[in-house]
Structure 1
Amino acid sequence: MKSCLPPDPNPIKPSLSLPPGACDAHCHVFGPAAVFPYAADRSYTPPDAPYSGLRGLHDFLGLQRGVIVQASCHGTDNTAMLDGLKRGEGRYRGVAIVDASITDAELAEMDRHGVRGVRFNFVAHLGGAPDLDVFDKVLDRIQALNWHVVLHLDAQDIVQYADVIDRIEVPFVIDHMGRVRAEDGLDQEPFQRLLGLMRDPRAWVKICGPERVSAGKRPFHDAESFARALLDVAPDRVLWGTDWPHPNISKDMPNDGELVELLGRVCGDEATLRKVLVENPQRLYGFESGR
């Protein structure tokens, strides 16, 4: 079982001043394992990255809101994520991983605590595509809650599962720019398919994870053109996140302060930055205005 590297313990202080209500729309909490054990069938073991560490990073970077996304190392046990939502007292929203055994009462309880979506992994090294019958049934059930689905895909999955994506009726969010490969260029079929998807009003995308797109080392400048292209197509449905604590990074561990600086270069102006960090996540996740 693979062990993950810890995040960079020394993020730089960004020179970029973030707008009030700025949101990290993709981050995780892991453990601590002594309190919130990892799933027995996990494909990787992360270092503990508890809620206190996430909140401290957000305070340091100037991020007032966040979305805690359940990761596969905790499986369908969403306890650590839900603990973060409760301790955040409205500062955080959540995205859960569930299976067919989830009850309507459990979904409603998650909703009360701030969960706003479910996530399905299609990524090969995390186990590959889910049971599509379960996928369809869960999506039918979350419609009444006005939740969305987060799709964690490898680039080729955007092509392979085009029919599955096309039949989704709830809003859907593509993680990490579809994990396209920068060395394959902007004209590669998966990225062109992703740009096409983003013309659909159901579709959202996170322009995070540049280290997963880049062919090089930090600060991952070769990922910027992909983020800008997505922002040009659907500026009202683009989100951003740190992806802290960056699980499964085998090349160059990002610096979270540098990731904020990269976002500033991609957005280019304060109005666009506010749209990505405040207005778009507020609309999708239902954050209270002014909080």
Structure 2
Amino acid sequence: MEPCQGPRETTRPPSFAVPPLACDCHSHILGPVERYPYVENRSFTPPDASPQAYLAMLGALGIERMVVVQPSVYGADNRRTADAVGELGVGRARGVAMVGQNVDAAELRALDDAGIRATRFITTAGGGPSLDNLPGVARKVAEVGWHIEMYVPLDTWPKVLPVIETLPVSVVFDHMGGLKADVPDDDPILGQILRLLDTGRHWVKLCGYRNSQTGYPYGDVTPLARRFVERVPERCVWGTDWPHTAIKGRMPDDGELLDLLGEWVPDVDTRKRILVDNPARLYRFA
């Protein structure tokens, strides 16, 4: 399997002043593969993406906090993500693991002590856990105060959304639920996600260039993002998705992606809420 392209080596600064303690809530640290091997049933092979390269990108953006999310290529082997949180510093970094329903309390406590605050279900790529395990995993992670982050194909939501209503934990809809940028206002999946967000229990991650139907500069995503921001600004967080795995064509510039957030959220106070206050609550930053 040929490796996919790596992230940009340089990042341009954003055009607005980023507030102190802003958080990138979606990133992945990868490699070296000799130490952290990928699962066989992965859908892509990423190049290394080191903590040092990630910090350089965040430095260009002026972002001080970060969340490292377990990539599908590692399956349930959470060593790289947990180690990355430690390398970046538990004072400023948190992590999202990927565990199965057989995980025991001791492992969950150890991951929590390492800065992990959630587990992930991703079925858009090989390596992720079965959605059949969702209720069982939710019961386990509820014991340590975690939430669940989800990225699944659109045709999966009709079966999964009713299950989410019954879970004892909050759910984060990664990548704005994977909804296409041109989704109509009366789309039933969009409506059900919005109703779940209205309960004040769940969250949406504004990480939206993958939702674009027109590609760079991703302007078609703005109406979808604003739907969430205008409806539930107190339940929105934002992420770069660095290092942008499995992207074909033009590699996103994270400064441009942050500027997109400025377009979606022109109000400075609301933007601070999304970049600082909401992540601090969701990921339990001290």
TM above 0.5: yes
Structure 1 residue aligned with 2:224: 226
Matches of 1:56 and 1:254 in 2, distance apart? 16
Aligned-residue offset at 1:2:
6.1
With normalisation by structure 2, the TM-score equals 0.94
Given that 2:147 and 2:171 are in contact with CA atoms closer than 8 Å, whether structure 1 keeps it comes out as yes
SS of the aligned residue for 1:244 comes to coil
Given that 2:26 and 2:66 are in contact with CA atoms closer than 8 Å, whether structure 1 keeps it comes out as yes
1:72-120 CA distance string (max 9 Å, x none): 1011111111111112222100000012342211110111111000001
SS of the aligned residue for 2:143 comes to helix
Matches of 1:215 and 1:264 in 2, distance apart? 20
The 5-angstrom pairing of residues 28-177 of structure 1 reads: 28-89=28-89, 90-123=91-124, 125-126=125-126, 130-132=130-132, 134-177=133-176
Matches of 2:212 and 2:185 in 1, distance apart? 12
Q: Percent identity?
A: 37
Residues 249 and 75 from structure 1, CA distance in 2 versus in 1: closer, same or farther, beyond 3 angstroms? same
**Which letter maps to 2:80?**
A
Aligned-residue Cα RMSD (Å) equals 1.7
Residues 2 and 238 from structure 1, CA distance in 2 versus in 1: closer, same or farther, beyond 3 angstroms? farther
1:32-72 CA distance string (max 9 Å, x none): 21221112222211111111111111112111000100011
Given that 2:149 and 2:171 are in contact with CA atoms closer than 8 Å, whether structure 1 keeps it comes out as yes
Matches of 2:34 and 2:236 in 1, distance apart? 36
* Greater alpha carbon shift after TM alignment, 236-245 vs 163-172: 163-172
Residues 14 and 237 from structure 1, CA distance in 2 versus in 1: closer, same or farther, beyond 3 angstroms? same
* Greater alpha carbon shift after TM alignment, 272-281 vs 154-163: 154-163
Given that 1:121 and 1:129 are in contact with CA atoms closer than 8 Å, whether structure 2 keeps it comes out as yes
**Which letter maps to 2:153?**
D
Given that 1:26 and 1:243 are in contact with CA atoms closer than 8 Å, whether structure 2 keeps it comes out as yes
Residues 251 and 180 from structure 1, CA distance in 2 versus in 1: closer, same or farther, beyond 3 angstroms? farther
The 5-angstrom pairing of residues 2-17 of structure 1 reads: 3-17=3-17
Given that 1:211 and 1:252 are in contact with CA atoms closer than 8 Å, whether structure 2 keeps it comes out as no
1:163-185 CA distance string (max 9 Å, x none): 22221120110000111112343
Matches of 2:206 and 2:247 in 1, distance apart? 17
Q: 1:275 aligns with which of 263, 268, 273?
A: 273
Residues 170 and 113 from structure 1, CA distance in 2 versus in 1: closer, same or farther, beyond 3 angstroms? same
SS of the aligned residue for 2:67 comes to strand
How many residue pairs get matched? 285
Q: 5+ unaligned residues in a row in structure 2: which ranges?
A: none
Given that 1:158 and 1:193 are in contact with CA atoms closer than 8 Å, whether structure 2 keeps it comes out as no
Structure 2 residue aligned with 1:188: 187
